[in-house]
């Protein structure tokens, strides 16, 4: 376990993140332009979706796919309820902000998923390719739970409308992830062979630059957002991932997923969104303070998962599955 943690901490992706974090905290002018960051995220989403589709094409679909998707949806609906109660119990956060934060912790961080997949790949552990589809399925239900939490006893159902549904279900990240998954599934190993030099070999390097940017964002978030977080909220950001991972572990074991599949479900359940959910919250819950949920998600939970969480979840998955 300690060796795994040390290997993870000294990996290029984590060290790139730490470099970005340091640069932001030291107020260096190092920055990644918005367009470049967007291009990197498009590349990562395409690559991870495509490779997931190829894996499904290689190994075929088993009965667990539907069950895994359903489990992901259930986790995404349920985790905000746990997060909301926990956050309200340990911090002085108001109901609206707590519900908005809770929504982030039911949804997922695709970059944490990518980093977890990368660690699995380095360890030579294969996971079910359809976990990419599970990731996509877990994006949206948490948003509904968050809005339900804030609107209990009021006319909060009106917060959801067709336009918001459209944005949640057809946002660019989801479309690209599922679309590239479908392309990988359709074209299979032959398709992968044609673009392998683009989506396999450069993957780790691109991930490093992306995580450098994530480090910069997290560092800026810590600098600016630490003023809005109390000790209870920070404690929540560090411990809620463990509760989410435990739920993912239980669900993964119940489904009979492989060691890699269990680990990825733990990563998904432990991670907090910073792309899809903040956008939905700005539209549907504008009264919630974005500094609180973005800082918690990006500057507290994401670094925790990247440095401590992922090796911990892998060790737990190996221990629980005997893998």
* Residues in 61-80 that interact with other proteins by CB under 8 A: none
Please say which residue, 7 or 167, places its beta carbon nearer to other proteins. 167
Please say which residue, 214 or 314, places its beta carbon nearer to other proteins. 214
Q: How far apart are CA 302 and CA 188, in angstroms?
A: 32
The stretch near other proteins (CB under 8 A) out of 3-11, 145-153, 260-268, 290-298 is 290-298
Site for other proteins (CB under 8 A): how many residues? 35
Q: Which two tokens stand for residue 172?
A: 């660019």
Please say which residue, 56 or 177, places its beta carbon nearer to other proteins. 177
Q: How far apart are CA 25 and CA 307, in angstroms?
A: 18
Length of the chain as a residue count = 323
Q: How far apart are CA 273 and CA 247, in angstroms?
A: 17
Q: Does residue 291 interact with other proteins by CB under 8 A?
A: yes
Q: How far apart are CA 147 and CA 309, in angstroms?
A: 28
Q: Does residue 95 interact with other proteins by CB under 8 A?
A: no
- The least CB distance from residue 278 to other proteins, in Å, is 3
- The least CB distance from residue 118 to other proteins, in Å, is 18
Write phi, then psi, for 82 (nearest 5 degrees).
Answer: -65, -45
**Tokens 């990731």, residue located:** 135
Q: Does residue 290 interact with other proteins by CB under 8 A?
A: yes
Residue 297 per-residue DSSP state: I
Please say which residue, 217 or 316, places its beta carbon nearer to other proteins. 217
Q: Does residue 194 interact with other proteins by CB under 8 A?
A: no
**Binding other proteins by CB under 8 A: which of 121, 187, 289, 307?**
289
| Neighbouring residues of 115: CB distance < 8 A, sequence distance ≥ 6 | 13, 207, 211, 305, 306, 310
Please say which residue, 216 or 265, places its beta carbon nearer to other proteins. 216
Please say which residue, 184 or 219, places its beta carbon nearer to other proteins. 219
* Residues in 226-285 that interact with other proteins by CB under 8 A: 227-228, 274-283
**Binding other proteins by CB under 8 A: which of 38, 85, 169, 230?**
38
Please say which residue, 27 or 59, places its beta carbon nearer to other proteins. 27
Task: State how far the alpha carbon of 289 is from the alpha carbons of 94, 99, 108, 170, in Å.
Answer: 10, 11, 20, 25
Grouping H, G, I as helix, E, B as strand and the rest as coil, residue 232 is: helix
State the DSSP string of 119-133. Answer: HHHHTT----TTHHH
* 18 touches 215 (CB < 8 A): yes
Grouping H, G, I as helix, E, B as strand and the rest as coil, residue 19 is: helix
Grouping H, G, I as helix, E, B as strand and the rest as coil, residue 289 is: coil
The stretch near other proteins (CB under 8 A) out of 34-42, 133-141, 144-152, 180-188 is 34-42
Name the site residues for other proteins (rule: CB under 8 A): 31-34, 37-38, 41, 163, 171-172, 213-214, 216-217, 220, 224-225, 227-228, 274-283, 286-287, 289-291, 294
């Amino acid at each position: 376990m300690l060796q795994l943690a040390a290997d993870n901490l000294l990996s290029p992706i984590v060290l790139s993140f730490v470099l970005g974090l340091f640069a932001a905290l030291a107020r260096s002018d190092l920055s990644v332009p918005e367009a470049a960051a967007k291009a990197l995220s498009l590349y990562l989403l395409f690559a991870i979706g495509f490779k997931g589709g190829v894996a499904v094409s290689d190994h075929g679909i088993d009965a667990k796919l539907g069950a895994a998707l359903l489990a992901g949806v259930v986790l995404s609906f349920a985790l905000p309820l746990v997060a909301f109660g926990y956050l309200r119990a340990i911090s002085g956060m108001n109901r609206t902000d707590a519900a908005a934060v809770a929504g982030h912790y039911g949804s997922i961080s695709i970059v944490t998923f990518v980093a977890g997949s990368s660690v699995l790949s380095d360890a030579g552990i294969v996971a079910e390719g359809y976990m990419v589809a599970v990731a996509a399925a877990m994006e949206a239900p948490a948003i509904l739970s968050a809005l339900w939490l804030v609107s209990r006893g009021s006319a909060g159902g009106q917060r959801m409308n067709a336009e918001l549904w459209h944005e949640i279900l057809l946002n660019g990240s989801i479309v690209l992830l599922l679309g590239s998954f479908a392309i990988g599934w359709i074209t299979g190993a032959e398709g992968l062979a044609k673009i392998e030099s683009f989506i396999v070999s450069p993957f780790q390097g691109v991930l490093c630059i992306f995580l450098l940017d994530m480090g910069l964002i997290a560092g800026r978030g810590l600098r600016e957002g630490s003023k809005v977080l109390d000790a209870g909220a920070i404690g929540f950001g560090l411990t809620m991932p463990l509760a989410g991972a435990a739920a993912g572990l239980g669900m993964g074991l119940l489904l009979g997923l492989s060691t890699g599949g269990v680990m990825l479900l733990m990563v998904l359940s432990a991670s907090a969104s910073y792309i899809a959910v903040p956008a939905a919250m700005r539209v549907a819950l504008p009264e919630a303070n974005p500094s609180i949920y973005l800082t918690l998600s990006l500057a507290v939970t994401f670094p925790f998962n990247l440095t401590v969480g992922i090796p911990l979840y892998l060790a737990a998955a190996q221990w629980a599955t005997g893998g």
